[in-house]
Each structure stands twice: as structure tokens, then as C-alpha cells.
Structure 1
Amino acid sequence: MKGIFHLLAWLAGSLLLWGAGLPAQTGTVQGKLIDPLNQPIPEVTITVPETSQTFRSDGEGSFRFELPAGRTYLIQFTHAAYQRAVWEVEVIEARTFTKQIKMLNREMGQVDIVGERDPTDIGEDAMLVSPISMEQLVEMPTISPSVEGLMKGMPGVSTNNEFSSQYQVRGGNFDENLVYVNGIEIYRPFLARAGQQEGLGFSNPSLAQDLRFSTGGFAARYGDKLSSVLDITYREPREFRATAELGIITTNLHVEGRSQNRRDSTKPGRFTYLMGARRFAMSYFLNSLETRGDYRPSFLDYQGMFTFTPKSQYYPEQVRQRRDGSLDTLYYANEKLKFTTFVALTRNRYQFEPRSKVSTFGTISQAFRVQTAFEGREVSNYNTGLGAFMIEHRPHARLKFDYIFTAFRTQEAELFDVEGGYLLGEVNTNFASEEFNESEFDLGIGTEFRHARNYLTATVASAQAKGSWTLSNDRTHRLHFGLKYQYQLIDDNLEEYSLLDSAGYVVDESGHFNVDEYIRGQVRLPSNQYKGYLQHDWRLSPRLRLESGARLVYYDLIDRWMFSPRVQLLMDLRQDPQGEPLTRLRVATGMYQQAPFYREFRRFDGSLNTDLAPQQAIHGILGLDHQFYAWNRPFRLFAEAYYKYLDNIIPYEVQNVRIRYYPDEVATGYATGVDLRINGEFIKGVDSWVSLGVLKTAEDIVGDDRGFVPRPTDQRFTFAMYFQDELPIDPTFKVHISYIYGSGLRHGPPQTFDQRTAFGFPAYHRADLGFSKLITFQDRVEQRFRYGVESIWATIEIFNLFQRSNTVSYVWIKDLQNNRFAVNNYLSARLLNVRVVFKLR
């Protein structure tokens, strides 16, 4: 069967090349390629896949060639320093088609389908900034290859855990971030305690086409979280493509395609498919941790998106005359309906049998060592399913409706029985002593026993209708509107306790057990939410745009209405001749209210407090987005100052990635700071970036008379950079380096409310280095047809290049005098990884 397929492909290619040689009626395609600052781009590779022809732009960025008439072409423009652009053009006999095509810098956007501009398009989203290249996401050296995990270098984002795909934004916690995939809201695991238990983030970079990220001040059509929104779009395939990634910790397969149009081969088919499967097994990395034992993690997921477009009729635009004598163009929707089905299944298993751990902590003058022996096993299981059915209806070119029906279900289990006996001693720090670095004095001996049988099932189902309406062809006004009903059901069964004894006795003098923590509860919690929003986009002038809107939510579990008005203003201080912004000023403010989901209700003993008000934040943002040239290379500067007033916030503490709230307490607070980012060609021909953030966040607990204290996410200074370089004689050889620095987050002894942020973590440093080689077959038509391989990309990555011991959490133990000591839990050591990615077409 495979041989027949290759024979048919060879015959089709031969017939195509033979037909191209016959006298045929042609049309001319010509144009000019420019960068975002309107400068010509020479030496751009121009490919016509339908005829297997390749051309290049000249020194002035111009091009001109002929193509057979009577069909539609997707002409591709590629350059090492710019995002690939595609011009979709229908060539007609004896006609010349001219187009000026702007190619975006790698950091400024994705593949841009260039055609006649949609007359209903009013412009970019006001506050959704910092688009990221999917190609860069794949190439960056990282332990967690998911879109969420790769957001950690963005301005305003902080993290201290490379195992987790979670992130904190401008003083918020993990629960305060919205994540959407094609308009579907994504949820994070409920029971995960450590980053290594999470597996990968939800989104698959191999399927993503575009993403936009806002660290605050986002529009009303987005949801009701306090901190950020990440909006990911999976692509709709145009042709068959596939990738296969093989690595030490990851295996990733992806395939996509579109059906053939049997009646007219020049037109696309009506059915598309996009599928991806991932396997993530990080035992190789976990074996580098201080806690020795048998690690057996396994993460599998599958995602598929399928679209079907019913047969539609072509309606050309028409011109009519208004009563005042002016002319108006009528546009019709040629594809009135599209049906999309999305499926995502995740299976995550984490099994660990700890054996021993040796930790040394303290200072040079006074150091301590804890030696621990374990017996028992930890098991964490997560099974998640997400299904969505979407209907896109366009009764008119200026009116669009989306109907989205989703169902999400997660079944999580947390089972462990682990006993650890520890010996605490003081270490000899005298360099001249023969017993240097040996434990001399035993300060304490004790035992800790942890037991849990926790089971959680969460179900979320929703039905949503939303739309957009451009009121006129001059694109001055556009409305966004939507209604959503959401049902939630939480079934939680908790049975957990821990015993910590430092004197060899579990029973105290009165005969009671010395239980350090006891959690028991059985919860079944249904709830309903009703949501709606209205947003008006108004282009006041070619350089000024206003977005204003509001959200209204009713949550029956707390019996509260939430009204959230939001306003964003965009002012273009400088534009290029095509009207695209070169310097843009952003101003945004608004109310953001986050209703408690489930974690916020739960006390430390497992009982619930459902008498909670929604947490509130008022954002104030002033930002600048400036494009410029330096050293004859393009750069982009992003700067934003912000202030967030917080009210009705629920205090919490963080252990690794586990957030535990104090629902009986309430606080007010604030977060303020500045975020800076510059990206461009620091090295000619390749894009890199540097980001910097300064933050201060604090809260004042109502009724404690202590005033403002730091929040757990008070990370004052963050710095991140990503640099690339390539060999001048062979640009397919590249080096990639990413570096993240974050000053210490806050922490304290567990279950000590007044001291939960009394101490600071050490600063987080991490540098990852990658060397890659790209082999392409675009110019070898015979090999491409024979093997179907478009390119092979291979990389060798060195994680934690400088062997930095980063602390993710602390274990608190006691000595014989009942004094408490904080023992560091460190993250991964320096490790080597290898990945190979095959692209098929």
C-alpha cells in the first residue's frame, strides 16, 4: 500500500512538471517585501507549493514571476529573520496581481495569511500584547515543553520551579490566570502538591498557531480572573503535515491535513483534522534530586480538533448607492457555517518509593545535616477528559456567532503511606579539622509518618453563545457580546493525617495522639454560574481606538452578582505608511472579580466556608510599545507600569505548587511595579529578547492590627533573557540560551498564619543551553517525494548549566528541645537532554 502511495505521488509530480512545460495561459504575480518599519527585505525565498517552483526577491525586496492561470495559489515567503508569510491569490489569465507584503519579525507574530484586507476588521486587540513565535517555543531549551511552561520568560511572569508549567503574574498566584484554547477555558490539576506530579501543561506547541498574552487590563470579553489571560489558537490545516519528536523525556507525534475537493481540485476540501499525542516521562530528571528512590512518572495525552464546513455558495461583493449619494460595498459571508469538534484526554501517573535523603543546610559558620531513611510509597493519579463542540455561524460578513458547548471532567487520586526517620546533627565547619564536613553532635532524632487517601472528581459543563458585529464597512464600530451558563460539581473525599515526633513517642502524657495535621471530609458541591458581557470597540480616528465593556456574573453558591466594567485606550503616536503602529501608547483600567471555585472554600481540616465574597482587583496600566532600528537592525521595546488595588482577597500559603487558603480570613492589598522587555536582532539575523520586572505586593489582614505584610508571591526583582546565535557560514547551526533570575519568594512554617510570609526563599537562578542543527529538504524535490521529510531538527540541551541548587520548598523538623528547623527541598541538578524533530509533508 505504501509503495502504491509513493508511485501515485511520483506520477502526480511527473504529470505536474510535464504539464508545466506545455504552452499554458498564465498570469503575472509581482510585489515587494517589506519589514515592520517599511524597509525592503532582500533574499527572501519564495515558494509556490502547487508548482514546486522557487524564486527569490532581489536587493530591493521586489519579485515578479508568472503562474498558470485558473487556480488559487498559497505563495510562501520565508526568511531567517522574519516570520513566514503566505499570499493567497487566484491567478487569472493575462492579468497582473501586485501586492506589498509586510513580513513580521519572529517575535512579533505568526504566519500571516496575506490577502485582501477584511473590511470588517477593526484592528488589533487593545491590551493583548507580546505575541510569541511558535518556532521559538519549540526551539527553546526547557524541561516542560508546553506553551504555559514557556511563558516564564515573559515580562510580569515569575516562577521558581522548572518542573511545573504554572506561573505567577504580577503578584498573583497560580489560580488567578485564565488559559483559553480556541475559546475553551482550561483548568489546572486540583490535588497536585509538587511540580513533578503535574506532567505537561495542557496546550501542545505542535498544534498551536498563535498565542496572545496579557498580564492585566484585558478586555471584557475575557473571563473573571484577577491576573492574566493566555489565549491560544490551534491552527486549521491547509495541507497534510506531520511531526515526530523523539527525546530522552518527551515523545511527541502530530498529524494534520485537509480533505480533497473532488469536484474542484483548486478549492480546499470541507473537512480538516489536527491531532497530537505526547508522552512525558521525567524519571531521568527526578533521579537527580536529593531524595533517592524509585521514581516512576508517566504522562500521556491526546488532543484532536476536527472541522467540517458544509457546502457554501460564493457571493461576490456588490456596490450600492446610499441616499446621500455615497457608495457602499456589501460583503457576504461565503462560508456561513463551520462545525468544530475538540477532544483532549490526559492520563497522568506518578509513583514514588522514597528510600533516603541527605540534606545539609545553614551557614558556613554553623551548618546542620539531616539524614532521613524512608519506607512506603506515594501514588498520584490524574485522569482528565475535555470535549467541546463549536458552531461558527456567519449570516453576514460583518456578523459572526459562535456557539460553544464544553464538558470537562477530572478524576484525581492521592494515595500515600510514607514513614521517615531522621537524624539531625551539627556539621563540623572547621577546614583544618580531620572531621571537616562530618556530623559531630546529634541534635535530634525523630519520625514522621504521612498517610492520605484523597479522591476528587470535578465536572464542569458549559453552554456559550457569543458574537461580534461590525456595524459598518468603514470599520469604525464593532460590538462583542456573549452569554454563558456554567455548571460545576465537586465530589471530594479527604482522609489525611501526619505525625511528627522528635522524642520517640507518638502518644503524649494525657494519652492522646500527637497528630501534627488531621484532615477529613466528604464534600459534594454543585453550583451554577450565569455570565454575560458586552464590549464596544470604537475607532475614534486612524490613530486612536477605545474599547469599553462590562461583564455581569451571578454565582448561586455564594448568591452574589458581580459587575465588572473595563476600559482600554490605544493611541498610535507613530505609524508607517500602511497605517500600522510603530509607537503605541496603552492605557487601561477596570474591575476584575474572581469567584471562589473550590480550593478557596476549603479549610485546613477539610471543612468548607461557603460564605465568601468574590476577590476583587482594580487594574491601572500605562504601557508603551515602540518599534525602532538600532545598528541597522529591527527592535521592539515593551514597557508597562501598573498598580492593582486588591479587595476581599483570601490569604493563602504555598508549598511547592500546592495552594492552601484561609477562608475564614479576609484582606485588602496591592501590587505595583514596572515591566520592561526588548527584543530584536541583538545578533544579526536571529531574534533574541531580554525582560526585566520590579514588583512589590502586600496585604493587610482585616482585624489583625499588623498592617501590610508581604504576600507569598512578593518577588521584588525578575530578569529573563533568551539569546540565539548561528554560524555565519551555515545558519542551520544555532545555539540557544535561556536564563531566568528571580529574587526570593516568601514562605513560613506551615499552618502558622501570622508567620506564613516571615522568611524569604533564596534567589532562583537557572540557565539552560541548547545546540541545534536544521536539515531541510525543500530544494530536494526527489527526496521529499520519496521520503516525505521536509526537515530534521536536532538539539542537545544542557539544563541548569551552572549547577545551581534552587530551593522550591522547605520541610520543617524538630530537635529534642522542640526547636523547628527548615530543611531545603532542592530542584534538579545539571542534566543533558537530546531531542530530534522530524517534519513530514
Structure 2
Amino acid sequence: MSAHIRLIWFSLLWLFPVIGFSQGKTGVSGVVLDKEGHPIPNVHVHIKNNREGTITGKNGRFFLPSPSGDTVSIVFSSVGFKPVIRKIFIQPQETLKLSIILYSSVNPIKEVEIQTTRHEEGTMRKVNIKDLHTLPTPTGSVESLIKTLPGVSSQNELSSQYSVRGGNFDENLVYINDIEIYRPFLVRSGQQEGLSIINPDLVENVSFSAGGFAPRYGDRMSSVLDISYRTPVSFKGTVSASLLGATAHVEGISKDCKFTYLAGVRYKSNSYLLNTLETEGEYSPRFEDMQTLLTYKINEKVSLEGLGNISLNRYRFIPASRKTSFGTVQDAIALYVYYEGQEKDAFDTYLGAFTVNYYPFPKMRMKWIATAFSTLEVENYDIHGYYSLNALDKQLGSETFGDSIMNIGIGSFLNHARNRLRGNIYSLKYLGLYNPRHHYLQWGITVKAEQFIDRLREWTLRDSAGYSLPYDGKTVNLFHSTVASNQMNPWRLTGFIEDQRTWHIDSVVLQLQGGVRFNYWSFSRQLVASPRLLFTCRPTRRSVWAYHLAAGMYDQPPLYKEARHPDGSINPDIKAQRSWHIVAGTDYRFRAWNRPFLWTAEVYYKGMYNLIPYFLENVRIDYVGENIAQGSAYGLDLKINGEFVKGVDSWASLSFMHACEDVTGDSFTDHDGHIHFPGCYPRPTDQLINFGFSFQDYFPNNPSFRMHLALFYSTGLPVRPPNTDRYDLFFRMPAYQRVDLGFSKDFVKTKTGENETLSKHIRSMRIGLDIFNLFGNNNVSSYMWVNTVNNLSHETGWYAVPNYLTGRRVNIKFVIGF
């Protein structure tokens, strides 16, 4: 390990030039805010009659070199805002500090047009998080909002994970302030998962791409979620509490505007929701999270940033009993289970990142990021269950209708696990940006050292009518057993370069973005290159169409889980999964009922090869550890977004998709001795239809009373029986159907600071009431497979018993802002 680290440091020495922290040069610096005090990025700042200048960063700050000893006019302009001109006089060797406020354009049509122009950049979409805190969701996470977007699917309201266009959870990239985020590896169900690392209280901007994204986002095959945390411009904070937990955050800035702090803590316990599950018992989940972002501006050219996160997740479960009825009216069955034992899990993750930002001159930026991520995951359980499978009386009008009338099978099972995984990932990243006229050039290089120490001790014993399964008449066999110990210490080197060229032709803006990304992983000794290209055509007139076309390669080298066989061993010959994307899309901005709307559509095709097949159970992904498949995914994503009710945003998304894969050389022999080659079969995340709807409304005479409706519908996922090598054997889950409804009342101080309900130290307050799973749908997360020996030949019968998700619950929430 030490040799790898020395190599990393040696490789990166040339990236760290000696930076002289000299005195500030003559010029103008400051911050640009909107009327509500929020920083405005990408504002063009220049001297009048000279278009060469600079732009504000994500925190709204800027520095503009200016001549001394003369009066000049500084122009601040941004699309969608009224320009501001400020006359100033600068003394020699002086840096004048300004605070500028921009107001929105008077014409509302222009405002809407520019908003879509600024936020929609080809396949990368800006996500409006303004109403995130009013979205009725059990998790309260940013991912809950992502799940309503086209091409995105999730069938588990307890989990923040999602699949995109036929990919699995591990194929999604997540960044916070250019820092790649990793999730726990051993989580097998939404009940265990805990808090997402993204703290909604700290978020300022969210961008998402479902495919065809730029080279700077790398090494995953499906999607990218890019999060930017807020840079505070004043002191404020929030405190919230509900039946599911509590949160608090505080932010502020020093008097000299050089130091800012942003910190949040969260606590969550979803036992209130878990008590609606069919398995009765003592649920004791406890999830805690602490996170902070600190920034310090040394001078106009150099600033420092530190991000830290500690997440402590504990899950303890003592099951007691379970009763589940399933089947059809003609074949109704009930499963009764009585349990002994318990489960105790711990998932602790730690993240630390230190960033140096350097602006050598206005049109160039450089960034160095050092990151350390660590996870310690422990999974312990011994659960003994005694079950009885009974047929139910199906005769309508019978006095025993719905009661058990015949026993189909009895048995027991014992599930045991002592699993432990420690993972450490250290990285050093260099990013550069140069913005000359009509170009936007970016480049970067990252080196990572990885360490995984994994111990698997997991087995299952099943007994039916006194027979150990699988039965051979001679020995007592375990139904499933995995015993392994692994250690991996690879390193990887990645990099990219991309450029965006812009042309203004009459009333049309044309952009061509292209680049390449490379990845070398020492474990497989494989080097892959991923060229990517994006073309956009965006007319600047209002109420017009815009178009984009993207194509490129997307390689995904294994991290750790993908290289592990089902028996726990590591495949030394594992290679990167590869995919190529073609995405064509269009945007149409229009007005209906005298209100703005945006309609978007994307059609895509993904060709995939070197795939590693996997089995999906709840949120657990078990890979086969071999590159033995190829596949494809294609579909259509549609979305309409706008003011269905004046003044508030709502949207509806509809997706059609088919994803399949073919295992090379797979076959089976039937009872007659004939060999069959099944060909393509659905991927575990294949869904024909996915629909999401987010709707807001308010009382006409009192908009502070709001209603928020979230509706989800997805066709069923394919399910395969356990312990089989047949990929073509599957059936479909029932469709996922869920409606969540929320009501809220806001108390906000007026511009004069008046509100009789609020004290002088409180700037806002919200009271909310959410109804989760409004119609009480029994959605299926996975299946419990029950075996019975029911004939003289001791042949096993299989029954797939559904594991249902949470039922209807009412949640009350309070949020106070100060």
C-alpha cells in the first residue's frame, strides 16, 4: 500500500505549482446578489465599451482588474436580470469592494425564456429544488425529487437509490462540489439504508443527466447527479422536527467576507413507518449525520474549502411473527411465520475533502481536491423462523371464507451472517478551466488509492417436513453458504479534456461540446478511453424549439462488488463494463392559460457489452463476477413542466423503456434432452412504463396554505428464483403504485419584518401534514422464497411470498427558520 501512495504523490507533484500569495492588485471585487440575497452565478462583469471581463462564480463573487487613477463604468449583466452600471474611481494599488443587487426583468415572458436557457444545457438539466421541503416523502432527500424525473425509476420509498434507463444503482454518479460520493456496499434493504449523504438544507444547485453527459463526469454507465452546496452570504439557519426525525442547520459569513461556514446535523428513525410492514417485531433503526462546509478566501486569486461528513447508521430488528396472504381468488394462500433471534447492523461512513481554488486571471480557474473516504460496515444476524403454508377458503358466502382450511407445508429456516467490510478510498484531483472567447475548455486528472478488506460468513439452513433442503437422502445440506475473506489494494488514474465552442448565428446559438475521458485500473491492468460529443441548437427568440444530440462511450471499471463471485471469491480477470449512448432531444417553450410551460422529449439507445450480470433483491445487488453478457436499452422520455396553477411549478413525466441482455453461451437442456439457447432476457431493472407526477396548489386568497401531490406508477420488475443458473426464468412483480399527499402552512415575515405569529428572532415557520401511501397500496419490494417437500419423491415446491413495502401513515412536520 505504501508503494502505491508514493507513486500517487510522485505522479501529482507536477500539478502543484508554487503559488505566491501576493498583495491584491488594482481592481474591483465583490458579490452579486438577487433581491432575496441569494448569490447569482455567471453574471458578466466588464468595463463599459469593453466586453472583455469576468463572470461571477457559484457564490456570486468576482474580481475584475481595472485601471487606477480614472473613473470607469462597471457593467453587471445577466440574462433574465436588469443590467446595473456603477461608476467608480480606483486609487492606485486599491481593490474596491462592491455589493451589487440585480432585479429580474420586468417582462415575465423573457424571464421564463432565459431561465430555461440558463438552466437547460443539452442533456444536463437544472432541477428546481425550491419546493423540495414541501414534497411529501418518507426520506426527505434530494433523490426523492430525482425519482419524479423522466427516465428515473425507484420501487422503494425507504431507499434513496434509483435506476436510470435500465441501469442499476451502482451505475449512477453523484458529486458534491466536484467530489465523487460513494454509498455503503452491504445494504440489502431500504430499512437499513439510513440517510443519504446529500443534506437538503445545505444544497444550492442540483443538475441531473440521464445519459449522454460530458467527459468531466466519468466512469459510470447511466447517470450523473451534480450537487453544489451553498456559499453563505448572511447568518441564518433552520430547525425541523417530524415523527420521522429532526434536522438543524446554520450558516454564516465573517465581517470581512473572507470566511463562511455551513453546517447541518440530522437524525432519523423510520420505525414509525416500519411498523406498517407485515413482519411484526421490534424495529430500532437510528441514523445520524453531521456535515459541514467551510470556505476561506485568502485573496482575490486563492480560496480554500473544506467539506466533512460523518454518518452513523444503526439498524436493530427483533422479529416476532408474520402473516402474509397472497395468490389469487382461485388460489389463495397464507404464510404464517414465528421468529426467534435478531439482526444488528452498522454502516458508518466518513468523508473529508480539502480544496484549493486558484484564479490566475479572470478567465482561468484551477482547483486541487484531496479526498479521503472510509466506510465500516457490519452485518450480524441469527434469525430462526418456523413457518406454515396454508390454503385459504375461497368459497364466497362460506362461514370460513378467508380462513385456513388445509396445510400445504411446514418447515423452518435459520439465517446466519457475520459480514464485515472496510473500505478506504483516497484521491487527489486537479481540475482546470479556461474560458476564452467562444470557448469553454476544461480538463482534469485524478489518482486514487483504494483498499477493501472483506470478510463474508453467511449461510442459510432450510428444513421442510423434516427434510433438509436441498434433499439428497444422505447428508444435511445448507441451502446457501458463502465463506470468504478478501483484500484488494488497487489504484487507478483517470483524466479528461473537453471543450465547448459557441457560435451566434442570427437568432440561433449553436454549441458543440466534445472531449475524451480515460481510466486505468491497476487491478485489471486495463486502460479504457471514452470519447463523447454533444451538439445543441438553441434559438434565442421566445416560444421556440431547442434541440440537442449526444453520442459517446461510457466505461465503468469495477469498484469492488462487481469483481466478487457469488461464492465470495474475487475474479482477477474482471474488466470494465462498456456502453455507448445516442441521445436526441428537444425542448419546447410555450404559454398556456397565459402561463409559462416547458415540454421536453428525449429518445435514446444504449448498446452495452462486457456486462456483468447481477441479481436484484430489494436494494441488494449480487453480481456473478464475470464479463459474460451484452445488452441494450432504448426508450422515450417525456416531461411537461410549468405553472398548472399560477405561481407554483408542477410537472409530469412519462417514460417508455426496454432493457435486455444476453449471456454469452448460456443454454439449458429440457426433459427430452433438447438444448435451448434462450437469447436475450429482461435486465433486472427493465420497466416498460414509468410515470411520475408532482403537482402543487394553494388557496386562492391565501397562497401560504399549500397542497403538494406526488404520484408514482411503474410496471413490474422481473424476478428470478434463487439458486438457479437460468437467466431466462422470471416473472413480473405487480406494478408499483403510490400516492403521497402533503399540506403545509407558511408563516413568513413581510419586507417590513411584520408578522404577529413570529417572534423577532424567527424569519419563517412552516407546519406540514403528510399522508404517505394515501390509498394504502400493497407494493412489493422483494420475495421470500418458501420451499415445501410435498410428494413421495421428495420434490421441492416453490412459493414466492411477497414482501410488502410500507402502508399508510400520517406525518407531522415543523420547520423554523431564523
Does the 8 Å contact 2:493/2:521 carry over to 1?
Answer: yes
| 2:749 is the alignment partner of 1:777 | yes
Give, as a single letter, the amino acid of the residue that structure 2 aligns with 1:544. Answer: L
| 2:155 is the alignment partner of 1:190 | no
| 2:580 is the alignment partner of 1:585 | no
- Deviation for aligned residue 1:482: 0.6
Question: Which residue of 473, 486, 491 maps to 1:528?
Answer: 491
Which residue in 2 is equivalent to 1:29? none
Unmatched 5+ residue regions in structure 2?
1-33, 39-70, 90-99, 667-676, 791-795
Structure 2 length normalisation: TM-score?
0.84
1:375-399 Cα distance to aligned partner (Å, 9 max, x none) = 0001110111000000000001111
Does the 8 Å contact 1:143/1:163 carry over to 2?
Answer: yes
Which residue in 1 is equivalent to 2:410? 445
3-state SS of the aligned residue for 2:639?
strand
Which residue in 1 is equivalent to 2:456? 494
Which residue in 2 is equivalent to 1:805? 778
Which residue in 1 is equivalent to 2:512? 546
Give, as a single letter, the amino acid of the residue that structure 1 aligns with 2:620. Answer: R
Which residue in 1 is equivalent to 2:214? 219
1:543-569 Cα distance to aligned partner (Å, 9 max, x none) = 110000000111110110010000000
Does the 8 Å contact 2:629/2:661 carry over to 1?
Answer: yes
Does the 8 Å contact 2:209/2:223 carry over to 1?
Answer: yes
Alpha-carbon distance in structure 2 between the residues aligned to 1:498 and 1:770:
42
Alpha-carbon distance in structure 2 between the residues aligned to 1:110 and 1:289:
47
Does the 8 Å contact 2:546/2:588 carry over to 1?
Answer: yes
3-state SS of the aligned residue for 1:815?
strand
Which residue in 1 is equivalent to 2:572? 610
Does the 8 Å contact 1:303/1:343 carry over to 2?
Answer: yes
Change (3 A) 1:437 1:539: same
Which residue in 2 is equivalent to 1:304? 292
1:683-705 Cα distance to aligned partner (Å, 9 max, x none) = 22221100000000111111123
Which residue in 2 is equivalent to 1:359? 324
Alpha-carbon distance in structure 2 between the residues aligned to 1:530 and 1:103:
50
- Deviation for aligned residue 1:601: 1.1
Which residue in 1 is equivalent to 2:279? 291
Alpha-carbon distance in structure 1 between the residues aligned to 2:140 and 2:750:
27
Change (3 A) 1:684 1:509: closer
Question: Which residue of 252, 255, 268 maps to 1:280?
Answer: 268
Structure 1 length normalisation: TM-score?
0.82
Alpha-carbon distance in structure 2 between the residues aligned to 1:608 and 1:189:
19
Change (3 A) 1:380 1:127: farther
Alpha-carbon distance in structure 1 between the residues aligned to 2:389 and 2:584:
52
Change (3 A) 1:89 1:442: farther
Which residue in 2 is equivalent to 1:837? 815
Does the 8 Å contact 1:181/1:231 carry over to 2?
Answer: yes
- Deviation for aligned residue 1:188: 1.2
Structure 1 residues 28-67: aligned runs within 5 Å:
none
Give, as a single letter, the amino acid of the residue that structure 2 aligns with 1:167. Answer: Y
Structure 1 residues 150-549: aligned runs within 5 Å:
150-261=145-256, 269-310=257-298, 312=299, 335-470=300-435, 472=436, 475-506=437-468, 511-542=474-505, 543-549=509-515
Change (3 A) 1:109 1:282: farther
- Deviation for aligned residue 1:786: 5.7
Alpha-carbon distance in structure 1 between the residues aligned to 2:442 and 2:550:
18
Does the 8 Å contact 1:146/1:202 carry over to 2?
Answer: no
Which residue in 2 is equivalent to 1:794? 767
Alpha-carbon distance in structure 2 between the residues aligned to 1:821 and 1:85:
63
Which residue in 2 is equivalent to 1:135? 130
Structure 1 residues 577-656: aligned runs within 5 Å:
582-656=544-618
3-state SS of the aligned residue for 2:214?
coil
User: Share of identical aligned residues, percent?
Assistant: 39
Change (3 A) 1:198 1:99: closer
Question: Which residue of 701, 715, 731 maps to 2:687?
Answer: 715
Does the 8 Å contact 1:617/1:645 carry over to 2?
Answer: yes
Alpha-carbon distance in structure 2 between the residues aligned to 1:140 and 1:419:
40
1:298-349 Cα distance to aligned partner (Å, 9 max, x none) = 0000110000001x3xxxxxxxxxxxxxxxxxxxxxx201100000000000
Does the 8 Å contact 2:574/2:627 carry over to 1?
Answer: no
1:740-782 Cα distance to aligned partner (Å, 9 max, x none) = 0000011111132314761101000000001110011234537
- Deviation for aligned residue 1:104: 12
Q: CA RMSD in A?
A: 2.9
Alpha-carbon distance in structure 2 between the residues aligned to 1:431 and 1:625:
55
3-state SS of the aligned residue for 1:778?
coil
Alpha-carbon distance in structure 2 between the residues aligned to 1:299 and 1:391:
32
Which residue in 1 is equivalent to 2:801? 823
Change (3 A) 1:88 1:359: farther
Which residue in 1 is equivalent to 2:14? none
Alpha-carbon distance in structure 2 between the residues aligned to 1:367 and 1:761:
17
Does the 8 Å contact 2:35/2:102 carry over to 1?
Answer: no
Does the 8 Å contact 1:733/1:773 carry over to 2?
Answer: yes
Which residue in 2 is equivalent to 1:265? none
Change (3 A) 1:84 1:819: farther
Does the 8 Å contact 1:778/1:790 carry over to 2?
Answer: no
Does the 8 Å contact 1:126/1:568 carry over to 2?
Answer: no
Change (3 A) 1:413 1:781: same
1:552-599 Cα distance to aligned partner (Å, 9 max, x none) = 1111101100100000001114534xxxx9532010000000001111
Alpha-carbon distance in structure 2 between the residues aligned to 1:84 and 1:244:
33
Give, as a single letter, the amino acid of the residue that structure 2 aligns with 1:551. Answer: R
Change (3 A) 1:98 1:387: closer
Change (3 A) 1:111 1:623: closer
Which residue in 1 is equivalent to 2:655? 693
Give, as a single letter, the amino acid of the residue that structure 1 aligns with 2:695. Answer: F
- Deviation for aligned residue 1:503: 2.0
- Deviation for aligned residue 1:100: 6.9
Change (3 A) 1:250 1:90: farther
Change (3 A) 1:124 1:630: closer
Alpha-carbon distance in structure 1 between the residues aligned to 2:743 and 2:161:
26
Change (3 A) 1:196 1:98: closer
- Deviation for aligned residue 1:604: 1.3
Question: Which residue of 522, 533, 544 maps to 1:567?
Answer: 533
Alpha-carbon distance in structure 2 between the residues aligned to 1:454 and 1:151:
32
- Deviation for aligned residue 1:105: 9.5
- Deviation for aligned residue 1:250: 2.2
- Deviation for aligned residue 1:129: 3.3
Alpha-carbon distance in structure 1 between the residues aligned to 2:735 and 2:477:
35
Does the 8 Å contact 2:610/2:630 carry over to 1?
Answer: yes
Range with bigger deviation, 400-409 or 788-797: 788-797
Query: Across the two proteins, how many residue pairs are aligned to each other?
Result: 720
Alpha-carbon distance in structure 1 between the residues aligned to 2:170 and 2:685:
12
Question: Which residue of 101, 104, 110 maps to 1:101?
Answer: 104
- Deviation for aligned residue 1:149: 3.1
1:173-231 Cα distance to aligned partner (Å, 9 max, x none) = 00000000000111111010101100121101110000100000000011110000000
3-state SS of the aligned residue for 2:763?
strand
Give, as a single letter, the amino acid of the residue that structure 1 aligns with 2:733. Answer: F
Alpha-carbon distance in structure 1 between the residues aligned to 2:132 and 2:729:
34
